[in-house]
Amino acid sequence: MEKEILEQGLNHNRRKFLSRLSLGLGSAALGSLLIPGLFDGRKEAEESMMRALPHFAPKAKRIIYLFQNGAPSQLETFDYKPLLQKNFGQELPESIRMGQRLTGMTAGQSSFPLVGSYFDFSQYGQSRAWISSLFPHLASVVDDLCIVKSMHTEAINHDPALTFFQTGAQVGNRPSMGSWLSYGLGSENENLPAFCVLLSRGKGNGQGVYSKLWSNGFLDAKHQGVQFSNSEDPVLYLSDPDGMSRDQRRKMLDQIAAMNDLSYQQFNDPEITAKIQQYEMAFRMQTAVPEITDITKEPDSIIKLYGPECLVPGTYAANCLLARKLSENGVRFVQLYHQGWDAHDNLPNQMIGQAKDVDQASAALITDLKQRGLLDETLVIWGGEFGRTNYCQGKIAPENYGRDHHPRAFSIFMAGGGIKSGIVYGETDDFGYNITENPVHVHDFQATVLHLMGIDHEKLTYKHLGRRYRLTDVHGNVVKDLIA
């Protein structure tokens, strides 16, 4: 036995070892041919994916997402249902509801009386789209709009629904849509963040928005949305403290960069170079941001276009104007949130106020982009996280009623950026409860938006905790019918 072991050991001489080693090398070489990137570091593999982006010629370069937080009622905006007005106060037929779930706010109601829009509807433009009298300005640009009446979502409460729209998952730990685009396409203008966030609040019943909605999730922190505030300091911590000159700041950054560079040479951690780059970007932002937030150079007609509110920082109109300026300067994704659409009661009154906030400025943004020749490369999206019920919540009167959350059918619109213009897509039943034609799921919407930006939603992935994540999770189909 001992002899055999010795023999075995002696047989493993250098020549044999080397010749067998060559076999191993051969199989490794084959492996690398079969699985490209097998021996790449993760970073590089991702970078090579980045070089391939966009996956195809994009139709839109930038997005402005006008999120109507709190869920505006589709029945008082774009989904005209005369039957509900006719059948005022009648019970919602079980054949329509089909036992679908309700929120805890109305599930206990003994009756579900139908209630039609307090506001009149008319048809506009070549598409003859129905739009309520609350939105005269949007009605005037209807031929630029692509109204989708057949959106549906999975969540029934604000926070999960909002998170779902923005991140593709109801639980908040995933990157936001803007972060995915920042990751996938980067910034056009390296002196500004790729993803900016603007908040405003109407007088209607509001629902909170939290910074997790513009979180980078597991992506690199540089893809996080940068919130612009309406204070004197639009980007927090960006201005130099009093008494510090730009030269001093430059010197300081140079010194820090030199030290960072030393530690990079020692540790080779790419995070260190990322840090240096971020300091540099902040330095450039110090001049780029004031150039953009300064509205004094805007012509007077702009104020008439957006309405005088646009001069009051923090209003929706001011944010629309700022969004246009950011987008024009190459910001990939501008995310607005306008709060106050959650009209569980006193809906007509609340809608009047909310519509007044957003109607003129939303339409103005589209007109403004158009007259600069930018609308065809900028996608504007307007919509909430779900719709509202066709039955009344609480006390019912023709001029005073409320509506609960309704995820089964709601309306949004898009404009510009390679989307078809002047069309109305999808249809709901006469009760405005269920979709009867061309349903568009939130993931389909996300896939379509990415498609317009030149991205195959199945290919924009990031590996985290052992699996590859996408904005559309494992779902989503591009709605080709919406693409011009």
Partner 1 sequence: MTRPSRIISGLENLLFFWLGLTTILIIGGNNLAIPAFLQVFGRLHPLILHFPIVILLMGIATIWIKEQTWKDAGRMFLLLGSNFAGITVVAGLILAAEDYEGNSLDWHKWLGIISLALSIFIYFLVKKPNLSQKTFSSFLAICLILTGHFGANLTHGEDFLLAPIQSKEEKQIALEEAEIFGDLVMPIFETKCISCHKEGKIKGELRLDDLEALKKGGESGPFLVAGDPENSLFLQKIHLPLEDEEHMPPKNKTQLTDEEIELLKTWVASGASFDQKISELEETSPLYILASQKFSAQKTYEFDPASDSDIQSLNNFFRKVKPLHPESPALEVAYFGASSFDPNSLKDFKKIKNQVVKVNLNRMPLEGVSLQFLEDLKNLEELQMNFTGLQPDQIQVLEKLPNLKKLAISGNNLGPESMAPLSKLNQLNYLYFWESGLSEEQKKELQKNLQKTKIDFGFNSKGVILALNPPKIEFENSMFGDSAKIELSHPIRSAQLRYTLDGSEPDSTSSLIYSNVIFIKESSEIKVKAFAPEWIGSSPVKAVLFKKGRKPESASLTHEPNPKYKAQEVQTLFDGVKGKANHTSGEWLGYSEKPFEVILKINPQAPPKQLQASLLLNESAYIFPPESVDLWISSNGTWKKVKIDSPSQSEKFGEVRYELLKYELPKESFEEIRLTLKPISQLPKWHPGAGSKGWVFVDEIFIY
**Is 182 a binder of partner 1 (CB under 8 A)?**
no
**Is 372 a binder of partner 1 (CB under 8 A)?**
yes
* Composition of the chain by helix, strand, coil, percent to 5: 40, 15, 40
63: left (phi over 0), alpha (psi -120 to 50) or beta: beta
Exposed/middle/buried for 482, CB within 10 Å: 0-12, 13-18, 19+? buried
**Is 190 a binder of partner 1 (CB under 8 A)?**
yes
Residue with tokens 């007609």: 301
Among 143, 220, 328, 430, binds partner 1 (CB under 8 A): 328
Among 21, 32, 37, 56, binds partner 1 (CB under 8 A): 56
Residues 421-460 that bind partner 1 (CB under 8 A): 454
**Is 330 a binder of partner 1 (CB under 8 A)?**
yes
CB of 299 to partner 1, least distance (A): 6
**Is 111 a binder of partner 1 (CB under 8 A)?**
no
What CA–CA distance (Å, rounded) separates 311 from 313?
6
Label residues 359-387 b or e (16+ Cβ within 10 Å = b). bbbbbbbbbbbbeeebbbbbbbbbbbbbb
CB of 373 to partner 1, least distance (A): 3
What CA–CA distance (Å, rounded) separates 277 from 222?
10
3-state DSSP assignment of residue 48: helix
**Is 367 a binder of partner 1 (CB under 8 A)?**
yes
- Report DSSP state, residue 199: E
Exposed/middle/buried for 286, CB within 10 Å: 0-12, 13-18, 19+? middle
Q: Show the tokens assigned to 60.
A: 């839109």
Stretch that binds partner 1, among 85-93, 161-169, 282-290, 409-417 (CB under 8 A): 282-290
**Is 311 a binder of partner 1 (CB under 8 A)?**
yes
Give the residue with the Cβ less far from partner 1, 34 or 107: 34
**Is 254 a binder of partner 1 (CB under 8 A)?**
no
What CA–CA distance (Å, rounded) separates 453 from 447?
10
**Is 10 a binder of partner 1 (CB under 8 A)?**
no
- What is the H or E stretch that residue 467 is in? strand 467-469
Stretch that binds partner 1, among 32-40, 103-111, 196-204, 366-374 (CB under 8 A): 366-374
Among 198, 305, 479, 482, binds partner 1 (CB under 8 A): 305
**Is 5 a binder of partner 1 (CB under 8 A)?**
no
CB of 459 to partner 1, least distance (A): 13
Residues that bind partner 1 (CB under 8 A): 51-54, 56-58, 188-192, 284, 287-288, 291, 299-301, 303-305, 307-309, 311-312, 328-330, 364, 367-368, 370-374, 454, 480, 484
